[in-house]
Amino acid sequence: MSESTTATTELTSQYAAQVTSDLERNAKEQERISADIAALQEQLAALQHDHSVLVNVQQVLGVSPAPVQPAAAPDSSTVPAPRNKKTAGEHGASKRTRAKKADDAQDRAAAKSSASKKTAASKKPTDNTTAATATRPTLVELVRSHLTEQSEPRSATEVTTTLDAAHPERGIKTTVVRTTLEGLVAKNQAQRTKQGSSVYYTAPNANEETAAPVLGEEQAE
C-alpha cells in the first residue's frame, strides 16, 4: 500500500514539473510575439507618417497624385475562382450553342431531303397516271367499239354494265354512257331504235353511213 502511494506521488510531481515548464515557455513566447507586434506597429506608424509628409509635399509642388496600388494580399495573386467558373460556363454555353445549331442544321437538311424524296415519290405516280390516262381510250371510243362488236342492239344500261366490268377503274355511269350514245347518233356513228318504252343502240352499217347524208340532202331539198 505504501509503494502504490509513493508511485502516485512521483507521477504527480513529474506532471506538475512538466506543466510548470510548459507555462514558462508559453509565457516567454507570448512576450516575444508581443514585442514583435509592438515593433511592427512602430514601423507602420513611421511609414504612415512618412506617407502623409510626402503627400503634403506633392500637393505643394502641384504634382497630380499617382494612383497608389494597395498591397496585394497573399491569396490575391491567384485568379479568383468565380471568374474561372464564369469563363468556363461561358465557354461551355458557347460550345452547347454551336452544337445545338449544328444539330438543328442537320435536322433541317434531313427534313428537306425527306421532303424532296416524298415529293419525287408523289410525282412518279402522278406521271405514271398521266401517261396511263393519255394512252387509254376515251369513253366515246369504248362505246363505239363496243357497239361495233355487237351483233344485236344494246341498251345504255347493258353497254354501261359491260364497259364498267371491263374498266372498273373508270367508274362508268349509265347517264354518261347514254349521253355518249346520243352524241354518236347525232354524228351518224350509231343508230337508235325504240322497242316499246326501251331504247336500243347499234353500230351503223357502212352502206347506211353512206346513205345517211344523201337522205338528209333529199329531205333538205
Helix then strand then coil, in percent of the chain rounded to 5, is 80, 5, 15
- Supply the pLDDT for residue 204: 84
In this predicted structure, the answer to whether residue 55 has a pLDDT above a threshold of 80 is yes
Q: For the residues 22-50, what does the mean pLDDT come to?
A: 94
Least confident of 51-65, 154-168, 183-197: 51-65
Location of C-alpha cell 461551355: 92
In this predicted structure, the answer to whether residue 5 has a pLDDT above a threshold of 90 is no
- Supply the pLDDT for residue 11: 87
Over residues 172-182, the pLDDT tens digits come to 999 999 999 99
* Domains contained in the chain, CATH given: 135-212 (1.10.10.10)
pTM score of the predicted model:
0.36
Least confident of 39-48, 132-141, 212-221: 212-221
